[in-house]
Structures are given as C-alpha cells and as structure tokens.
Amino acid sequence: MTETVIPFDNSYARLPAPFFTRVEPTAVEAPVLIAFNRPLAEELGLDAAMLEREGAAYFSGNRLLPGAEPLAMAYAGHQFGHFVPLLGDGRAILLGEVIDRLGRRRDIQLKGGGPTPYSRRGDGRAALGPVLREYLVSEAMHALGLPTTRALAAVVTGEPVYREEVLPGAVLTRVAASHLRVGTFQHFAARGDEAALRQLTDYAIARHYPELQDDPVPALALLKAVAERQAFLIARWLSIGFIHGVMNTDNFSISGETIDFGPCAFLDAYDPEKVFSSIDRGGRYAYQNQPAIGQWNLARLAEALLPLLGPDESSAVDAANAVIADYGHRFQHHWSAAMRAKIGLDGADNPEDLELVRDLLGLMQAQAADFTLTFRSLAKAIGESGEHDMLTLFKDAEPVTAWLARWRARLGRDGRAAADRAAAMQAVNPAFIPRNHRIEQAIAAAQAEADFSLFEALRTVLAHPYEDQPALARFAEPPGAGEEVLRTFCGT
Ligand code: AMP
Ligand code: MG
C-alpha cells in the first residue's frame, strides 16, 4: 500500500493532559465495510479510492490513517437531569481533525472502536442496529438541510456484542465540526479548573466562532453564540418532526450540530407529547419539550462558564440570565420563520400567520394526521382543485376545508405567484423522512441475514428528501397497521 497524504491537523490533541486520554482503537476479528460515504470522503480530502478498497481495516480501527492521533475526550454531563462529573468517550475514539476542501476543520471519530479509560462498565462497542440508525438519520438530516454530524463509513466487526441479546458488532465513523459539548465545559467547571475552562473557551471560539475572538468578554459572547445556534437548530428539528431522544448536556454540541442519534425518531402522526425513547420514561425529551430543554442545557453551560462571564458574581449571573431569557425569543423567531415557510408565507412575521400555523397543528393533532404528508400535500392545495390529497389525511375534512379557505384568503393578500409559492413550500416540506418503521425493518434485515438492501434503498431515497421520487414512493408512506414503532432503544 502506498502511504497517502491525509490533511490531519490535530488541534485537540495539542491541548493539555486533562482534556483527553490517548488511546488506540482495539482491533476486531473480521471487519467488513458495509457503507462508505464517498462524496463526504472527497469533501474531506481523503483518498476515496483507497478507502473504498481498504476501508474495512481503517474504519474498524484495525489500521490507523496516517496522521491520526487517537484519543478519548474527557467530558461530564447531566443525564436526564442528573449530573455525572466524568463521562468521557467510553466507546468513541477521536482519530483527529482534517481541514476539508472548503478549509473547514472536521473531526473524524470512530464510534464503537473499543474500550477507553472512560468506558466504566461498558464494552466500548456499538451494535449494528444503532450504527445503521445513526448512519441513515444523520445523513438524512444533512440532506434535509439541518446542521448535523455526518456518517463517513460503517463496518461490521465480525464480533458479537452482548446487550439484552447477542448482536452483531459494528463501528460508525462519524464526522463533526467538533465534539465539544456543554458537558466538556461542565467537566472543568466541576473540577474548579478555571484555567482549563478559559483555555477551552478560547479553543471553542477559535474553532467555531472566530469572529468573537476580540470580544471583551469572550465567554459571554460564546454563550450567546451557542444560544443562537441551538435555538435555530431546535426550531428546525421541530419543523421537520424530529425528536432527538437524549438531549443530555453531553449530547448538546457547542457548534450547534445535531449529535448522537440514539433513540431518535421522526413523528408520523402529529403528537406534540410524543416520546419514542425506551429510557425516557418521564417524557423529559418529548417533541414539544425540546425547546425548553435547550434552554435548560444552555443554563447549565452558563453555570459552567460563570466565573468567566463578568467581573463579579452578581454581574455574571445577570449577564447569564439575560442570554438564557433571550434564547426563548431567538427560538420563537426561528420557529415562527420555519413554520410560516412551511405554509408558504414569507415576509414580516404577524400574529395572524402564526395563528394559521397553530390551528393547522391543532387539526393535525386532533385527527392524528401525518406531520410530513400534511405539509407536503399543502403546496398542491394552493388551488382548491388540488386539495384532495391533503383532505384524505384527515378523518373529518370539514374543519380542514375551513382552514384551507382562511389560508387561501391570507395567501391572496401577498400576491405571490402560486407556482413560486408551491416550489418554495416543496423546498422546505420534505416528501421523505427516515420513517421509524423503515429503519427498524432495515435493521432487522441487516441483523438477521446480513441483508443491506433496505438500508441501501433508504440511503438512496433519503439523499433527496425534497424531491418526488415516484419509483420510491412507498418510502414516503407512514407505517401501516402493525408496523408502527412505539419505542426506540438507546444506542448503547
Ligand atoms: P450516549 O448515551 O451514547 O450519549 O453515551 C453516554 C455515555 O455513555 C458516554 O460517556 C458514552 O461514551 C458512554 N457509553 C455508551 N455506550 C457505551 C459502551 N458500550 N461502552 C462504554 N461506554 C459507553
Ligand atoms: Mg453521547
């Protein structure tokens, strides 16, 4: 094999000792490459042809990419509200950072690469099912246009992992703007290590918010910037019906990307109280709680940064509270913009438009209408003759017809051409989302018979979620009787 040059530049590995522990991936028995994201590899400046041939060795951790400096990151986290001062990468190993073709710094990480000093009682491994779910859902999120970590590759290890049952082991190679999270800050705050906190703040700003580098109070500027990105992200989650499932502070990214696709799921029928995660018994991370949890997590970041937020404690607390309160306005702003766009309204925000949004959601909830299909069918219903598809999604058409009449009256007042409006609506209302029942079917076939055909079909259709793909229309459909997934299980 010829050594290929990989543009690694591992800035995190240059931070001092308490930030991480160096650890090599543990080799596996018989790795097989089951998915490789060639366009992403090219974007990262990797040798895609070589990785297509030899990816099994590299993406299992059996062989290290030249220039990688593997390590496990240290971090803390509030898990379901309970603080754990040291979690860390228990089954993820950061290989390093590359500067991609657009000059962006990106982490490459193996998830499931073997035990680390932070594994506690865990085996450091991942099962095939969660690896496939993260691959499909993270790539779907990207295609949907949301900030998210990406999936570069998946391998099966040829080794079993022992959960409630024996499952095939797998490794996901994940790409992220970084793996800095609220929990990283909490870790150093809990240790009372103000120097490390300061260094981490500078590092996070340099990496994600370089425009803030000269701010007089960098930590406060960082807190505001994270508030803005998270408000935007969570508004966009709601707009596509996404439930993250484990919004613990260790899964809350400083860069504002969606990270850690464990028991995540998309809504089928609209139900704001929906929870899929088998471990979320209290509904803490239910669909409609996500904005408030975002605020709660932000408050935890503010607490961690407190010593850096102002000249004395009381001004620091005031500054933090102002940012936390402002997050609510930011979220409202982004949510309103996203939801108004879904019903074909742009221009200045006004209360009547939001009432239309809320009333439609109310009808969908009352009649358990499919979230994605309702919004997708709405563009066609701009003219009365096209409303049939939408009405079939509701058991009782009458209130929907009345809503449509109100909506059309509103559309008539902004004079936008119907074709333009319809095109804009189709560009924000996907036809295809990663439906839970399809993901479960893909996982079941892969686990039972190493049949990856459904996984492949989903990768294909979800790469273009806003395009009608008539030959693949079956993947747009909600679950039939008996197909509905009630619970998804955590990725551990
Ligand atoms: P997660 O729920 O995936 O965000 O993980 C929460 C914490 O548990 C992180 O510190 C993980 O590294 C750790 N963890 C999860 N699964 C395992 C495993 N199989 N082995 C070791 N650590 C794990
Ligand atoms: Mg996590």
DSSP per-residue letters across 258-324: B---SS-EE-SB--TT---BTT-TT-TT-GGGHHHHHHHHHHHHHHHHGGGSSSSHHHHHHHHHHHH
Q: Cα(263)–Cα(388) distance, rounded to whole angstroms?
A: 35
Paired strand residues for 156: 32, 170
Kindly name the residue from 9, 89, 193, 250 that is annotated as catalytic: 250
Residue 31 contacts residue 60 (beta carbons within 8 Å):
yes
Give the position, in ligand 1's atom list, of the atom nearest the Cα of 251: 4
Give the position, in ligand 1's atom list, of the atom nearest the Cα of 124: 20
Give the position, in ligand 1's atom list, of the atom nearest the Cα of 262: 3
- Ligand found nearest the CA of 179: 2
> Could you give the residue ranges of the DSSP H alpha helices within 348-476?
351-366, 371-378, 388-391, 398-412, 418-426, 436-449, 453-462
The closest of 30, 283, 292, 260 to 131, measured between CA atoms, is 260
| pLDDT value at residue 436 | 96
DSSP state of 475: G
Q: What's the one-letter identity of residue 397?
A: A
- Ligand 2 centroid to Cα of residue 23, in Å, is 18
Nearest CA to ligand 1 atom 15: 492
Q: Cα(197)–Cα(156) distance, rounded to whole angstroms?
A: 38
DSSP state of 228: H
Paired strand residues for 170: 126, 156
- Ligand 1 centroid to Cα of residue 126, in Å, is 9
- Ligand found nearest the CA of 246: 1
- Ligand found nearest the CA of 72: 1
Per-residue HEC secondary structure of 337-355 comes to HHHHHHCCCCCCCCHHHHH
Residue 272 contacts residue 290 (beta carbons within 8 Å):
no
Nearest CA to ligand 1 atom 8: 90
- Ligand 1 centroid to Cα of residue 118, in Å, is 9
Nearest CA to ligand 1 atom 12: 90
Name residues contacting ligand 1 (CB within 6 A). Answer: 87-92, 119, 122-125, 246, 250-251, 260, 262, 490-492
DSSP state of 253: B
- Ligand 2 centroid to Cα of residue 435, in Å, is 22
- How high is the mean pLDDT in each 10-residue block of the chain (492 residues)? 72 97 98 98 96 98 97 98 97 98 97 98 97 98 98 98 96 98 98 98 98 97 98 98 98 98 96 93 96 98 98 97 98 97 90 96 98 98 96 98 97 94 98 97 97 98 98 97 82 54
Pocket probe mutation, ligand 1, options 248, 285, 492, max atoms within 8 Å of Cβ: 492
Nearest CA to ligand 1 atom 16: 492
| pLDDT value at residue 1 | 46
The closest of 383, 70, 341, 361 to 241, measured between CA atoms, is 361
- Ligand found nearest the CA of 117: 1
Ligand 2 ion: Cβ-proximal residues, 5 Å cutoff: 251, 260
- Ligand 2 centroid to Cα of residue 349, in Å, is 36
- Quote the Cα angle for 332-337-342, to 5°: 125
* 250 labelled catalytic: yes
Give the position, in ligand 1's atom list, of the atom nearest the Cα of 490: 2
| pLDDT value at residue 348 | 82
| pLDDT value at residue 7 | 83
Nearest CA to ligand 1 atom 14: 90
Pocket probe mutation, ligand 1, options 119, 259, 264, 489, max atoms within 8 Å of Cβ: 119
Residue 75 contacts residue 190 (beta carbons within 8 Å):
no
Torsions phi, psi for 153 (to 5 deg): -165, 160
- Ligand 2 centroid to Cα of residue 403, in Å, is 42
Instruction: Characterize 210-238 residue by residue with b for buried, 16 or more Cβ atoms within 10 angstroms of its Cβ, and e for exposed.
Output: eebeeeebbbbbbbbbbbbbbbbbbbbbb
| pLDDT value at residue 32 | 98
For the entire predicted model, the pTM comes to 0.97
| pLDDT value at residue 349 | 82
Give the position, in ligand 1's atom list, of the atom nearest the Cα of 116: 21
Tokens encoding 409: 């009256």
Nearest CA to ligand 1 atom 22: 90
**What totals of helices (H) and strands (E) does the chain contain, helices first?**
15, 12
Torsions phi, psi for 356 (to 5 deg): -60, -45
Helix (H) or strand (E) holding 327: helix 313-342
Please list, in sequence order, all residues whose beta carbon lies within 8 angstroms of the beta carbon of residue 228, skipping any fewer than 6 positions away.
256, 330
Q: What's the one-letter identity of residue 206?
A: A
C-alpha distance from residue 69 to each of 12, 60, 61, 220 (Å): 10, 15, 12, 32
Residue 103 contacts residue 164 (beta carbons within 8 Å):
no
The closest of 103, 482, 106, 75 to 301, measured between CA atoms, is 75
Q: Cα(422)–Cα(420) distance, rounded to whole angstroms?
A: 5
- Ligand 1 centroid to Cα of residue 61, in Å, is 18
